[in-house]
């Protein structure tokens, strides 16, 4: 290379350095003039993707501790606002609640929610309000929860009966707790929807039952979270890794199964018209039957897609999340014998050993509710709440937030922030004693979300959790394998699950054997 070539290369490097420096300075000045939230330095095209590692909620925790509780990120073509303080949550979901009432449009949402007719993902507006009203009246109202209590009770009793049977009345039995809790929640949901359990009692705790449950999960539990194609739309156009093709195929399998249930329900209704009275039919009506009845009277609103999307929502939102919370609660209790003994004493004192615990007993078991609240604080089923989407420009914490920004709430960090919780890493159910008596405490405890799009099924989930956990503790003694501490490492996904399924040893309590033998 001669002298002139060398000089030309040096000039090129200078121009490139000047160009990049100018962009950096202009970017800093723009952010300062716009009063945007703090943000790490981003790379071209990919933005801040290089800073995110699994589990994502812990990566965001690290960034929030460094840059503050209101954090701006750029992920490909998407702008993200991450909040991790109660005050920011309150501002987003009170003053700006309508602005953040939408969900971001995603490829998974498009294919897995019947083009966003699902109540969880439907755009905010008149249609969504009608869906929410339908859920509130037909599924989650106090009256509806009372009607469905018999299903929860019967399925909990069925699980206890199966455990007692496999133990031969007294032998300690090794079981996988995650599977037990999943069978319970799937059967409850399936009976509410179709009137029949997902797995029958005779095959529940067998390899046949496990295979059937796995097949159901494989069909229903594709992630609704955003994928790389949502951040880089060009990848969707080129069919990157067949992601969208896989979604379309899975959506077809789901649709075929849902249509089968609906058709079966219609046939059962026709065959039962001559054998039941109208009053009996209404009392025994399943959720699918109720939705089909509304479909007949309001076909424009309650379309076939709406019927299927609500049915799908009940499975996705009402099974694995509750089952996983049960597993976390049992794992925490096994690692904290003092708490376990205190809870067991409360149940023995208030319910006794002559009959099984039922939902009417739950109001007399405040420490059980404290244990569940503390479990949801430490291990919220969705550590990053479902994302929201800003419909217009607004301000949060004094910072300007642009229209089209995706809002992410890091419940994991809020629940473990030492500024709001004393010794936040410690499992201490007593911290919830005397609060949550019919009113929300503050925005520092948000396991079910917050605002107008908070989870409508919170009441049902808490009833199921309380009844199942309370009855299992009332009837059986529980121990870890080899009496070792339970590994509490979590895995982040759509639902926060344990890295290793909880395997435990259970045996009937001597004081409840007579009662269990009569089930």
Tens digits of residue pLDDT in 8-51 = 555 555 555 555 555 555 555 555 556 999 999 999 999 999 99
CATH, domain range 126-517: 1.10.630.10
Tens digits of residue pLDDT in 109-163 = 888 888 889 888 999 999 999 999 999 999 999 999 999 999 999 999 999 999 9
Q: Which residues are annotated as part of the binding site for heme?
A: 455
Secondary-structure breakdown of the chain: helix, strand, coil percentages, each rounded to the nearest 5: 55, 10, 35
pTM: 0.90
User: What is the H or E stretch that residue 514 is in?
Assistant: helix 513-517
Q: For residue 198, what pLDDT band results from cuts at 50, 70 and 90? A: confident
State residue 219's pLDDT score: 74
Cα separations in angstroms, 135 against 97, 140, 237, 428, 461 = 20, 6, 36, 34, 14
Tens digits of residue pLDDT in 395-441 = 999 999 999 999 999 999 999 999 999 999 999 999 999 765 444 45
CA distance 164 to 173: 9
Would you put residue 248 in left (φ > 0), alpha (ψ -120 to 50) or beta?
A: alpha
Question: Which two tokens mark 140?
Answer: 């989650």
CA distance 294 to 431: 44
CA distance 110 to 177: 34
Cα separations in angstroms, 234 against 74, 76, 111, 229 = 17, 11, 18, 7
Q: How many beta carbons lie within 10 A of that of residue 440, not counting itself?
A: 11
Q: Which residues are annotated as part of the binding site?
A: 455
Q: Report the DSSP pairing between strands 490-491 and 497-498.
A: antiparallel
Tens digits of residue pLDDT in 458-482 = 999 999 999 999 999 999 999 998 8
413 Cβ partners below 8 Å, 6+ apart? 57, 60, 61, 64, 65, 84
Tens digits of residue pLDDT in 243-263 = 999 999 989 988 998 999 899
Question: Which two tokens mark 264?
Answer: 């079966």
């Amino acid at each position: 290379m001669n002298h002139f070539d060398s000089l030309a290369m040096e000039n090129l490097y200078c121009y490139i350095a000047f160009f990049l420096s100018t962009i950096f300075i202009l970017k800093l000045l723009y952010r300062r003039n716009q009063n945007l939230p703090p943000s790490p330095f981003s790379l071209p095209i990919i933005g801040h993707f290089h800073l995110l590692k699994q589990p994502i909620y812990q990566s965001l925790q690290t960034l929030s501790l460094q840059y503050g509780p209101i954090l701006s990120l750029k992920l490909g073509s998407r702008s993200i606002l991450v909040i991790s303080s109660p005050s920011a949550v309150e501002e987003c979901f009170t003053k700006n609640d309508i602005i953040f009432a939408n969900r971001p449009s995603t490829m998974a949402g498009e294919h897995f929610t019947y083009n966003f007719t699902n109540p969880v993902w439907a755009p905010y507006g008149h249609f969504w309000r009608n869906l929410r009203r339908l859920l509130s009246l037909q599924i989650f109202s106090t009256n509806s929860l009372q009607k469905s209590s018999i299903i929860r009770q019967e399925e909990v009793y069925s699980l206890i009966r199966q455990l007692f049977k496999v133990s031969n009345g007294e032998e300690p039995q090794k079981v996988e707790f995650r599977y037990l809790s999943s069978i319970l929640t799937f059967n409850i949901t399936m009976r509410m929807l179709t009137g029949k359990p997902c797995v029958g009692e005779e095959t529940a705790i067998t390899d046949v039952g496990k295979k059937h449950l796995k097949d159901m999960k494989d069909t229903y539990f594709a992630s609704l979270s955003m994928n790389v194609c949502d951040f880089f739309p060009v990848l969707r156009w080129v069919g990157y890794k067949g992601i969208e093709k896989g979604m379309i195929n899975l959506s077809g399998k789901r649709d075929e199964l849902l249509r089968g249930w609906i058709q079966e329900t219609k046939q059962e209704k026709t065959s039962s018209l001559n054998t039941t009275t109208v009053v009996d039919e209404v009392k025994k009506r399943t959720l699918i039957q109720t939705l089909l009845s509304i479909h007949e009277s309001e076909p424009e609103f309650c379309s076939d897609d709406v019927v299927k999307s609500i049915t799908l929502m009940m499975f996705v939102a009402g099974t694995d999340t509750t089952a996983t919370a049960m597993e976390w609660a049992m794992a925490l209790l096994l690692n904290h014998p003092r708490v376990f003994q205190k809870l067991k004493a409360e149940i023995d004192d208030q319910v006794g050993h002559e009959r099984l615990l039922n939902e009417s007993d739950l109001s007399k078991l405040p420490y059980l509710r404290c244990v569940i609240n503390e479990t949801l604080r430490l291990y919220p089923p969705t550590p990053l709440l479902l994302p929201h989407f800003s419909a217009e420009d607004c301000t949060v914490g004094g910072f300007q937030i642009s229209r089209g920004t995706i809002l992410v709430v890091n419940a994991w960090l809020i629940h473990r922030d030492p500024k709001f919780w004393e010794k936040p890493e410690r499992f201490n159910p007593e911290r919830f004693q005397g609060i949550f008596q019919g009113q929300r405490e503050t925005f520092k405890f948000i396991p079910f979300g917050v605002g107008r799009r908070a989870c409508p099924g919170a009441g049902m989930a808490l009833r199921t959790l309380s009844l199942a956990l309370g009855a299992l503790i009332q009837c059986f003694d529980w121990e870890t394998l080899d009496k070792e501490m339970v590994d509490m490492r979590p895995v982040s996904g759509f639902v926060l699950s344990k890295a290793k399924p909880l395997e435990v040893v259970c045996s009937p309590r001597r004081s409840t054997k007579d009662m269990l033998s009569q089930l």
